[in-house]
Structure formats: structure tokens, C-alpha cells
């Protein structure tokens, strides 16, 4: 063993960092409820919700239970693809995972027949013309794969 005195280290460059990268791929199971939800969108251009057996609320996305009542859901309900705009934001900032290049508009929409808000995007309208409360309708893609992007965006009615 050789004792190293302070200041006598033979190394010149400090060792500062190691690059870490996570390359874990996830296959998240949709499960029964998302399966039905996205199949309806893909095959029937239909948005379906599910009813709580206690409060009767029509929930989106469909799930086995109502979180508010902690009761099971049962009845599937077809909703309109039209509704009212509740809130929106115009995205100017670029970030990883965006569905399209900014600027674009995220929106929460109360679909006719639903009791919870549906998250999507707005199109065919300039941000300065958007008004909360305005009526909007889904524009469906022709090439549908069973995802939320089977709807292109919502446009003013």
C-alpha cells in the first residue's frame, strides 16, 4: 500500500459525471374498459362512456368503478361527439411528446350526455377567436387505429 499525500494525485482531469439513460419499454395493458372504448372510436366513430350504478354519472374514460361513490359501473352509454368548450390553452412551448408542432390548442370539452370532461385539441379556429362555452364537434380521422388520435381535433360548430 502506498500512501498518497494530498496534492500528489497523478490524475489531471476531474471525473465529473456519468451518462445515465433509461431505455425501459413499457407495454401498458389497456384492460377491458379501454379496449371497448377505443374499439368503438376506431370501428364506429363513437365515444362511449360508462354509468355509475350509484350516482348515475356518465364517466370518461370508461372504468370499472366510480371514484366518487366507490361503486361499480355497469351500463355503457353512447355519447355525442359534440359538446361545449369548458377550458383551453394555446401551447406555444415545444416539448417532448407533443402530438404536433406548436402552436396548437388543448381543450376540455363537456360532451353532450357526459358528466365528466373530455380532453382533446381544437382546430379550424384561430386562438383569439376561441370562447369558453362555444359549441364544438369532433373531426374524425379516416385512418383510425384505436387511440385518442382517431379524433383529429374538435372544430367549432
| Span interacting with another protein, options 44-52, 64-72, 102-110, 126-134, rule CB under 8 A | 64-72
- Cell numbers 383529429: residue: 152
The least CB distance from residue 34 to another protein, in Å, is 7
State the Cα–Cα distance between residues 10 and 130, nearest whole angstrom: 66
User: CA 155 to CA 124: how far, in whole Å?
Assistant: 6
Please state, in angstroms and rounded to a whole number, the distance separating the CA atoms of residues 101 and 95: 9
Beta strands in 68-147 (DSSP E): 71-79, 82-91, 104-111, 118-122, 135-140
Does residue 18 belong to the site contacting another protein (CB under 8 A)?
yes
Q: Which residue bears the cell 374524425?
A: 140
- Name the site residues for Zn ion (rule: CB under 5 A): 52, 54-55, 66, 68-69
Per-residue binding string, another protein, 126-155, x by CB under 8 A, is ------------------------------
Where residue 12 falls (left for φ over 0; alpha for ψ -120 to 50; beta otherwise) is alpha
Q: Give least dist CB 68 to Zn ion, A.
A: 5
Q: Is 1 in the site for another protein (CB under 8 A)?
A: no
User: Residue 22: helix, strand or coil by DSSP?
Assistant: coil
Per CB under 8 A, 36 contacts another protein: no
Which residue among 3, 9, 13, 23 contacts another protein (CB under 8 A)? 23
- And the C-alpha cell for 145? 387505429
Q: Is 30 in the site for another protein (CB under 8 A)?
A: yes
Our finding on whether 28 is near another protein (CB under 8 A) is yes
Choose the one of another protein, Zn ion, none that binds residue 24, judging by a C-beta under 5 to 8 angstroms depending on kind. another protein
Q: Is there binding between residue 74 and another protein (CB under 8 A)?
A: no
Amino acid at each position: 500500500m502506498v500512501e498518497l499525500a494530498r496534492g500528489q494525485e497523478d490524475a489531471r482531469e476531474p471525473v465529473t459525471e456519468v451518462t445515465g439513460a433509461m431505455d425501459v419499454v413499457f407495454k401498458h395493458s389497456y384492460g377491458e374498459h379501454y379496449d371497448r372504448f377505443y374499439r368503438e372510436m376506431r370501428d364506429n366513430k363513437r365515444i362511449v362512456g360508462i354509468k355509475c350504478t350509484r350516482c348515475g354519472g356518465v364517466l370518461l374514460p370508461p372504468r370499472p368503478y366510480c371514484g366518487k361513490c366507490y361503486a361499480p359501473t355497469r351500463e355503457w352509454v353512447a355519447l355525442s361527439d359534440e359538446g361545449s368548450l369548458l377550458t383551453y390553452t394555446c401551447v406555444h412551448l415545444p416539448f417532448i411528446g407533443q402530438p404536433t408542432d406548436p402552436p396548437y390548442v388543448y381543450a376540455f370539452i363537456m360532451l353532450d350526455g357526459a358528466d365528466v370532461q373530455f380532453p382533446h385539441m381544437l382546430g379550424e379556429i384561430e386562438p383569439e377567436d376561441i370562447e369558453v362555452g362555444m359549441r364544438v364537434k369532433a373531426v374524425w380521422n379516416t385512418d383510425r387505429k384505436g387511440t385518442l388520435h382517431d379524433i383529429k381535433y374538435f372544430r367549432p360548430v
